[in-house]
Structure 1
Amino acid sequence: MQIILSQLDAIDRYLEQHQLDFLDFKLEIKDHLATATEELMKEKEIPFEEALLLAVEPWENELQVKKYWLISNERLFPSFVIQRIKNKVAFHYGVVFIFAIIAAVLFSKYLNENQTVFKYSVGFCGSVYFLLRRLMNNKKVKTSYRFHFDYFYMPVLLVFAWFFVFQLSFVYANFIGFLVLVNFPFTIYYFVKHQQFIKKYNLK
C-alpha cells in the first residue's frame, strides 16, 4: 500500500501545525513519517489516518513547540529544530563576537592609520549582505540556512548607522564593523547553502 499525494499533504499540514516551517528540516521529518506510515499500513493493514497516528508517536517530544532564548524570543520552534540549530547559533555567536572584540581592540591600538581601508571593507561586506538578502527574499522558501543568514541583520544595520547617521565612539564603531567583517564568511556560506537547497528541489 503506497502513500498518495493527498496523504503526503496531510503529513505536511501536521508538521506545519507544529510550527515546522524550515523546509530542509520539514522534508527530512516528512520523509521519515511517510516511510513509517507506509510500513505500518502494510504491516498492520490499517488505514492511513491510524498509521500516521502511530508513526508520529516517537516524534511527539521532538515536535513539541517552545521558545528558546538563544534563537528567538518572538516565536515558537519545535524541540527538534531547537536541538538542530542551537549549537550552530552558539558557535556562530561565539566566533563572531570573540573575533570582533579581539580585532577591534588590536585595531584601535595598532592600526588606526588603516581606518579608511577598514571602513570601505566593512561597507563592501554590508552592501553585499543587503544585496544577497534582497536576492534571497525574492524566494519565499524558508530554510534553516536562511534563518542563520539573517542572524546578524542588526549589526549590519548598525554599521550603516555608523557610516551615515551617528558618530559613535571609535572602539565601539570598530567592534560593530568587525562584527560584519567576521560574520561575512557565515553570510556567504549560508546564502550558498540556501541557494543549493532551492536548486536541488527545484523550488521557486
Structure 2
Amino acid sequence: MELTKEQIQKVEHYLNVKDITFIDVRLEVLDHIISDIEEKMQTEKLDFETAFNNVTVKWNKHLKHSSSYMFGVMFSVPKIVLEKAKKRFSNWFFIPFPIFIATYFFIEKSSYILSETAKNGLNLFFQISSICTFIIFLVLFILKLKNKTSTTYSFILNTQSLNLIMALILLFDFDYLTKNGTLDSIQVTILIGFIYSTYTYFHFYKKHKEAIKKYKIS
C-alpha cells in the first residue's frame, strides 16, 4: 500500500521538526519511515494516522538531538546524524595525538643540536607555513559558509571551524624561537596541529561537495 502525496508530506514535516535537513541522511530516513508505515498499514491493517504514530515513536529515539566529546558538547544534532559523523571522523580524531607528542619531543631534542643558521631558517619556514595554512583554511571556511546545504560532512566542518583559534595563536605569537634561541616546541606542535586540521577540513569539504553532487543539490 503506497502512501499518498499528502501523507508523504506529513512524514516530511515530521523530519523537518526533528531537524533532519542533512541531505545524505534525510532521503534514507524518509524511505525507511515510509516503508515502515506502509508495512504496518498492510500487515497490521492500520490506518495511516495510527501507523504513522507507531512508527514515529520508534524513530524518535534515533532522531533525538545529541552531542559528543569528539565534536564538543556545544554542537548538537539528531542522534542518527551524530553516529554517522562519529563513524566518519573517529580515525581523524584519534590518529594525530601520537604525532603531536612525537613532534613535541623531537623539537625539544633537536633544538639544542641545530646551528643558529638552521634555527633561523626553520623559523622563517614555520612562519611562511603558518601564513599559507591560515589562508588555505580561511578560503575553505568561506566557501563552506557560502554553501547553505547541510550534510553530515558540513556538520563535521562546523565543529572543526573552531580550529581557526589555533591560527590566531600562531599569528599572535609569530616567532618560533624562544628567548634562549631554541625552537619553541609548543609553538611548532600547534603549527603541526593546525596544518593537520587544515588538511582534515579540506578532506571533509571535498566529501561535503561530493555528497551534494550525489544527491543533485546545487
TM class by shorter chain equals: 0.7 to 0.9
Note the residue ranges of structure 2 that are not aligned, 5 or more in a row: 112-118, 179-183
> Once the 2 structures are TM-superposed, how far is the Cα of residue 52 of structure 1 from its aligned partner?
1.9
Note the residue ranges of structure 1 that are not aligned, 5 or more in a row: none
Tell me the distance in 1 between the aligned counterparts of 2:185 and 2:72: 28
Change (3 A) 1:105 1:152: farther
Q: Runs of 4 or more off by more than 6 Å in structure 1?
A: none
Tell me the distance in 2 between the aligned counterparts of 1:196 and 1:5: 29
1:145 aligned partner: 153
Which amino acid is 1:25 matched to?
A: V
2:139 to 131, 140, 144: 131
Tell me the distance in 2 between the aligned counterparts of 1:77 and 1:182: 25
Deviations 1:130-176 (A, max 9, x none): 1122112212112221122233323333324422x345762222122
Q: Does residue 97 of structure 2 align to residue 97 of structure 1? A: yes
1:180 to 180, 185, 194: 194
RMSD of aligned C-alpha atoms?
A: 2.8
Q: Is the 8 A contact 1:100 1:179 kept in 2?
A: yes
Deviations 1:45-86 (A, max 9, x none): 444322222323432332233443443323543333333333
SS of equivalent residue, structure 1 residue 61: helix
Deviations 1:95-147 (A, max 9, x none): 23332332243245437442322332333232112112211221211222112
Tell me the distance in 2 between the aligned counterparts of 1:167 and 1:121: 11
Tell me the distance in 2 between the aligned counterparts of 1:68 and 1:99: 23
Change (3 A) 1:201 1:125: same
Change (3 A) 1:10 1:115: farther
SS of equivalent residue, structure 1 residue 60: helix
SS of equivalent residue, structure 2 residue 74: strand
Tell me the distance in 2 between the aligned counterparts of 1:174 and 1:85: 29
2:63 aligned partner: 63
Tell me the distance in 2 between the aligned counterparts of 1:21 and 1:105: 45
Which amino acid is 1:118 matched to?
A: F
Q: Is the 8 A contact 1:96 1:183 kept in 2?
A: no
Q: Does residue 124 of structure 2 align to residue 116 of structure 1? A: yes
1:191 aligned partner: 205
Larger Rg: 2
Change (3 A) 1:156 1:109: farther
Q: Is the 8 A contact 2:63 2:80 kept in 1?
A: yes
